[in-house]
Amino acid sequence: MILPFTIGRNLLETTLLTRKEIYGFSLFDVKYFFPVYLSDVFLLLIYQNYLSKGFTVYKKVSKLTISYKLAFVSFVTFIIFTAVRSIDHEFGDLIILSSIVLIKFLLIFFVVTLINFRKHKEKINQLIAASTLFQAILIIVEQFRGGNLAIFIEKTLPGMETGTASAEAGDILRANGTFNEPNIAAVFLLINVCIILPLAFRKILLRKQISSYLYLAVSLISLLAIIFTGSRSIYLLTCFVLGYYFLRYKKEITKIALFCWGKLSVKIAMALTIIVSFSYLFSRISSIPDVFNDKGSLSYRSELNRYVLLLSQRSILGIGLDMTPYYIAKNFKTMDSSPVIFDQAPAHNIFVQIITETGIFGLISFILFIYFALKDIIVINRPVNSFAVASIVYLFAAQFHPIFTSHPEIFSFFILYLSIANNLRLES
């Protein structure tokens, strides 16, 4: 029996374990690797620089809203409930390490209050646009190449040397950039488009046409890249995002459209884009009915979530953060002696994963964190807070994809954008 048992929490620490079937039970070699990224070093440097100046030097922290403080306290409570589960757990030391990873998210949530965001706002926007453009171009190149570029870590994973194939149509390549999963790449691109696209419209109002068209170009290239990830749920979310921004920026969009339509180069670019992407997009959309059959992705997600919820009945404090893959593999039963390949992924719903792994108290704490973090930034009649939009889009995407601690790189963006959204609300 081949068990695709995920070890670790990021792509660098993912391997496949091959085990021979043993009638009645299976053996597992459980290991844990603490994920460390280069960005973690810069995060610590920011705090080191702040603490070296003393707590009284920077006064801005005292201006935090009550909702922001309650969100902070709620996340601290969530970490405590997660760590408490380590008591008398068979993998208590691993759960403690997972709790430490949550502390990093807490530091990310608070870090925006330690910097002068207004002063560096334009640079941050440029950095977001640059990183998004890099991923978008990489995905497009992979699609035309017909596989991964073999220069990133994904080439070392068995079965992923050429890329990820569609579940319903194995001949369709789904490009993933530097991420190990195309859906995660699609979420990354979309939440950043939520930030970059309104920048282009605002620059029009400020008569900064060059920067406006640059941001617009990055947004359009990113939307093309989203098509090549093949993520149909993100297709739907993208339509909602574009519809929302169309309603909020009708005048700016009309002005840009009238200007661009008179350019021959723009018409040629649009025609080429349609020619290149239409066949792929049509094939993905036409396969939507297959999603609902017995082997479709919706059936897979619902069945996985149902089984994971059954695990939540084990303890009121949950089975332990990030322990879902282990318990799914441990409880998996084989019939006769035929080889079986199965996927023991975390729940494809962030709330299902949290209640299963951290229990009812952990879920309540996390929901309170989301509520207080969003409470002051969702205001209909005010100018669009694009970081708030990106955060909300992430939450919708998290109802269909495992983008919590199993993919800490994308969850970090959610926490960061949620904090920036509150920072913008504070400055306004």
Mean pLDDT of the chain: 78
Compute the distance between CA of residue 398 and CA of residue 351 in angstroms, rounded to an integer.
Answer: 8
pLDDT, tens digit (0-9, with 9 covering 90-100), for 318-360: 888 888 887 877 766 555 545 444 556 788 899 999 999 999 9
Note the pLDDT of residue 376: 82
Whole-prediction pTM value?
A: 0.83
pLDDT (0 to 100) of residue 239: 93
- Closest to 128 in 3D by CA, of 64, 190, 170: 190
Give the pLDDT score at 1: 30
Query: What is the per-residue pLDDT across 352-363, written as a single tens digit (0 to 9) for each?
Result: 999 999 999 999
Among all chains, which residue has been given the structure tokens 């992705």? 297
> Tens digit of pLDDT for each residue in 38-68?
888 888 888 888 777 655 444 455 477 888 9
Here the tokens at position 187 are 């979420």
Q: How far is CA 254 from the centre of its chain?
A: 32
Please report the pLDDT score of residue 23 as a whole number.
43
Q: With a cut of 70, say whether residue 254 has pLDDT above it.
A: yes
Say what angle helices 408-427 and 92-111 make with each other, to 10 degrees: 30
In terms of Cβ atoms closer than 10 Å to its own Cβ (0-12, 13-18, 19+), residue 240 is: exposed
Q: What angle in degrees, to the nearest 10, is found between the helix axes of 117-145 and 182-205?
A: 130
**Contacts from 10-15 at CB under 8 Å and sequence distance 24+?**
10/35, 10/37, 10/407, 10/408, 10/409, 11/153, 11/154, 11/157, 11/179, 11/180, 12/153, 14/157, 14/180
What is the average per-residue pLDDT within 98-115?
88
Say whether pLDDT at 218 is over 80. yes
Whether the per-residue pLDDT at 158 is higher than 70: the answer is no
**pLDDT tops 90 at residue 406:** no
Q: Residue 164's beta-bridge partner residues?
A: 174
Domain boundaries in the chain? Answer: 1-114+297-428, 134-292
pLDDT at residue 148, rounded to an integer: 67
Query: Are residues 324 and 353 in contact, defined by beta-carbon separation less than 8 angstroms?
Result: yes
pLDDT digits (tens, 9 = 90+) for 260-291: 777 777 778 788 888 878 788 888 888 777 77
